[in-house]
Structure 1
């Protein structure tokens, strides 16, 4: 690898491409403005912006459904909250670790994935993440469309009686999501900043309704908190462990592509504190709203309504229905765009940076979300929790472990930004643009979790069941161990201190 001159600048521990390097990369097959590292002046997100991002993403209907779905599966309210809190503390670890590269080097997820998988091999990881995101996009859009349909139906009896109304509402909400996502990061930042307070009001309003409705039914708040678990004797772990895996999987997607957002943070402290304050606290708080309101529906309606749109639709007040459904739509919008469009849009752009922009990737994601048929994924609590979340978590856990091992254990957090956007002359090219050792790590690490999926082997009583029920964590740990072992003798992609000094201009602010 030939020595190079000053292709990157470092100011207070943050790196950017030099102007000369950017100019030389223009027209390169693996470079465009959307994938390029953010400039230092573009990194403007503070702790508040990062925390608001997580409030906006966490206060969403799937979070509510996670908690209420666990209750529907048989857990008590406190067991459901414990499950969710534990899962978020676990997934916060790789999320914080993978955020570091985004803030330090300003790179998005598809470029970050080039480190381990190679310049071309990163397509594998980026598209794996994109497929999951497209499914989530469809789920969130279906939920938001249902909320919009509830608003219109409360104003128009004719609309309520029309069987096709849900589809019109779905595509209207779909178009709104795609339009805002198409506008890019600044629009997302603005939306999250004003959306967070509104979501707080929505949470309080749901709690007030639950308390009022329970009291009107001649019961009390204590009755909600005293609702017993309903799982069969001796089956606690059969519900708790798959639920834990599902809850970890819930944000396992962001544990991978968190550099897509941390690349805009002003400092490492901003991204660290923003996530610490925004994710686990908000998830636990809104999960409690979910279990509390679901418990109230058991008392008020005689059954657990795990879908908040159904709860709002059952409230005998047009004004309350309108406000509640509008709040659900806003909650869905703030989550959907940030969590489910940015990653696949960047991943799709990475397939052909010279021809596919971020905006085009956002449009493709929108159409893919419809193709995933979200109405089927949300048919039951079981389909949502254990089929959708549980299965894809098994595939993403090894990726998170591999990235942590690659960045911290193998590279010691030292990168060559310029080489991340080059072809065969890049130190990250490996063989044919693909690091097969990363592919092998992924396949080996997900083998046990996948074999433990109940439907794969035709039942639940098999030796691999434990690995399937804890698939994300098992895969994460295996990849964390396997990747460094396979890469032990692979030194061509590493940067020595001498080379780093040759390519980096140190600037004191």
Structure 2
């Protein structure tokens, strides 16, 4: 409930800023009316690919952390609608709002202001009356709530779960979140907002490393294992588990991951340090970082697992150890429910959830 309220307040704040910008500029500004720069078809194509890569970079961290939240869904299809709305609908509309506000500020103030906190400061510097101060206060509160929501959902909670899984004897989710907060401050994230170019470079940089990870995950779960996991071996670190691999490390995935981002690293470095000379053809690979990294890691991971198959590939538990499925679902998967009494309890619980 608290997160829903925070999201609503964030939306109201964004709409308020958008309405003010369109009203003050009497439209969206020069974004829709100015003539396009003359570029070659090749330049236009690579620019479009770079933009697509940047957009993917904005949602790449959330894509990787979706299982942290989708596991709470009542039904399997619930998470599909949630992700479709969040990534496709909201992920398209919100950047459009940002472009419209930036274009409007270009007409109002003579410069395109893309950063909301900077825009609030500009309000106060141009007109410091009671109405402007009130607008700045409400917008500032809304932006603060927005950042808290993003911090909790996309950063703190996901990092807490990951660190808790790595060090369960020392950390729980809350402690892991605090550790992630301290580490995040050490990276000085405010430097990423020094300019729009730096911000886009960092956002695009996510795709270099997340694309290969996504390719490995999809290949491993959907192609190699065909959605069949031995759940009991996921929750222990004994060497006899099929997911223990070599001292807990699956070298196939590591090789596939490094192979996926290695060709993209020169382009990423040049984006951060433009003074470094680099061949144009190599630099252009960075414009398709997510797709290329995804494809390379997918193919390499598939090939390594076919040549060097890991033990227990595609195996499942003989019985429903964690009472995850109904009796019918367990039998359809080729296993058995742990006990009829427990299965009946689970089925009753599911019916109660549907009625709630």
TM over 0.5: yes
Higher relative contact order (CA 8 A, sep 6+): 1
Distance of aligned partners of 1:495 and 1:212 in 2 relative to their CA distance in 1, 3 Å threshold: closer
1:490 aligns with 2:309: yes
2-side partners of 1:479 and 1:280: how far apart? 25
Structure label with greater radius of gyration = 2
1:318 aligns with 2:133: yes
Question: Which residue in 2 is equivalent to 1:476?
Answer: 294
1:394 aligns with 2:192: no
Question: Which residue in 2 is equivalent to 1:276?
Answer: 84
Question: Which residue in 1 is equivalent to 2:39?
Answer: 233
Distance of aligned partners of 1:200 and 1:402 in 2 relative to their CA distance in 1, 3 Å threshold: same
Deviation readout 1:359-392 (Å, 9 max, x if unpaired): 1111111111110112221111111112x12223
Distance of aligned partners of 1:403 and 1:503 in 2 relative to their CA distance in 1, 3 Å threshold: farther
TM-score by length of 1: 0.58
Q: Which of 138, 142, 145 is equivalent to 1:327?
A: 142
Deviation readout 1:207-235 (Å, 9 max, x if unpaired): 220122113xxxx4465531444x67344
Map 1:370-409; keep pairs closer than 5 Å: 370-386=185-201, 388-409=202-223
Q: Which of 241, 244, 248 is equivalent to 1:429?
A: 244
Q: CA deviation at 1:238?
A: 5.0
- Give unmatched runs, 5+ long, in structure 2: 320-333, 348-356
Q: CA deviation at 1:237?
A: 4.2
1:441 aligns with 2:256: yes
2-side partners of 1:450 and 1:223: how far apart? 36
Q: CA deviation at 1:354?
A: 1.5
Deviation readout 1:483-504 (Å, 9 max, x if unpaired): 1211114141324478464575
Q: Which runs of 4+ in 1 moved over 6 A?
A: none
Question: Which residue in 1 is equivalent to 2:183?
Answer: 368
Q: CA deviation at 1:301?
A: 0.4
Q: RMSD of the alignment, in Å?
A: 2.3
Contact 1:192 / 1:334 at 8 angstroms: preserved in 2? yes
1:203 aligns with 2:14: yes
Distance of aligned partners of 1:419 and 1:296 in 2 relative to their CA distance in 1, 3 Å threshold: same
Contact 2:317 / 2:335 at 8 angstroms: preserved in 1? yes
1:465 aligns with 2:280: no
3-state SS of paired residue (1:396): helix
Q: CA deviation at 1:204?
A: 2.1
2-side partners of 1:253 and 1:347: how far apart? 13
Contact 2:53 / 2:207 at 8 angstroms: preserved in 1? yes
TM-score by length of 2: 0.81
